[in-house]
Amino acid sequence: MKKLPLYILALLPLLLAFSQVPKLVKTKVHDAITVSLPADFTAVGEQELSAKYVSYRKPLALYTNPSKQADFSVNLSVTQWQHFDLPLVKDFYKASLSTLYSDIQWVKDEIQEIRGTNFALFEYVGTVADTEQENTIKQTKPMQVYTYVAYGLVEGKVVVFTFTAPASQQQQWAPVAQAMVESIRLKKTL
């Protein structure tokens, strides 16, 4: 049996990481927004959207995988910001995200340029513990969610791209979420 050259063995983990990303399909979310999503992701219908998003503002788009455990949404904020405010936007949203969870483990917290647009990127695992369970008989495990979110500024508005999945599936979804975010194309006008 032949031995593999050392450089091939060194590249093997990298090749395996790339093989984990399924085929992505370019998807037009809005006239000014396109992103590549896994081929098996489908748009969520109006009824399911209302059930999933208990918010006064529904997202521009919401896509989910066949098991409905992984979601990708695109939102547009109403808050106005200047194009040079991205570091402030990043700090604002990081503080806001931190209040949503009882514990948060940051994986990524940076500003990165993607296809000519700067984005504030966050990747994290958030834990929601039910603090009102202490005196109950039935205790449930804290819920953990893996999230990859990108905030981009266009015409003073924040465009928010959010991928979520159960934290137990983080290893499976992390390279996919990163590839999806890196595929974002935003026109300069919305």
Q: What is the CATH number of the domain that holds 27?
A: 3.40.1000.10
With respect to residue 116, please indicate whether it lies within any of the assigned structural domains.
yes
User: DSSP letters of 89-143?
Assistant: HHHHHHHHHHHT-SEEEEEEEEEEEETTEEEEEEEEEEEE--GGGTT-SS--PPE
Q: How far apart are CA 77 and CA 54, in angstroms?
A: 16
Residue 41 has pLDDT above 80, yes or no: yes
Confidence (pTM): 0.83
With respect to residue 3, please indicate whether it lies within any of the assigned structural domains.
no
Interval 103-107 mean pLDDT = 96
Among 59-68, 82-91, 126-135, the least confident range: 126-135
With respect to residue 90, please indicate whether it lies within any of the assigned structural domains.
yes
Mode of pairing for the β-strands spanning 157-166 and 71-76: antiparallel
Could you give the percent of the chain with pLDDT greater than 90?
Answer: 64
Contacts of residues 9-18 at CB distance under 8 Å and 24 or more positions apart, as own/partner, are 17/175, 18/175
With respect to residue 14, please indicate whether it lies within any of the assigned structural domains.
no
With respect to residue 124, please indicate whether it lies within any of the assigned structural domains.
yes
pLDDT at site 9: 44
pLDDT at site 16: 45
Q: Residue 85 has what DSSP assignment? A: G
Structural domain range at position 124:
20-131+142-186
φ, ψ for residue 80, nearest 5 deg: -95, 135
With respect to residue 57, please indicate whether it lies within any of the assigned structural domains.
yes
Please state the domain count of the chain: 1
Q: In what helix (H) or strand (E) does residue 164 lie, and over which residues does it extend?
A: strand 157-166
Strand arrangement of the beta sheet that strand 157-166 belongs to: 42-43, 61-64, 71-76, 157-166, 143-154, 117-128, 103-114
User: DSSP letters of 4-53?
Assistant: PPHHHHHHHHHHHHHHTSPPEEEEEEETTEEEEEETT-EEPPHHHHHHH-
pLDDT in tens, 126-149: 998 876 555 555 566 788 999 999
**Closest to 185 measured CA to CA, from 32, 38, 39, 23:** 32
With respect to residue 6, please indicate whether it lies within any of the assigned structural domains.
no
pLDDT in tens, 157-184: 999 999 999 999 999 999 999 999 999 9
pLDDT at site 55: 67
With respect to residue 13, please indicate whether it lies within any of the assigned structural domains.
no
Q: In what helix (H) or strand (E) does residue 181 lie, and over which residues does it extend?
A: helix 170-182
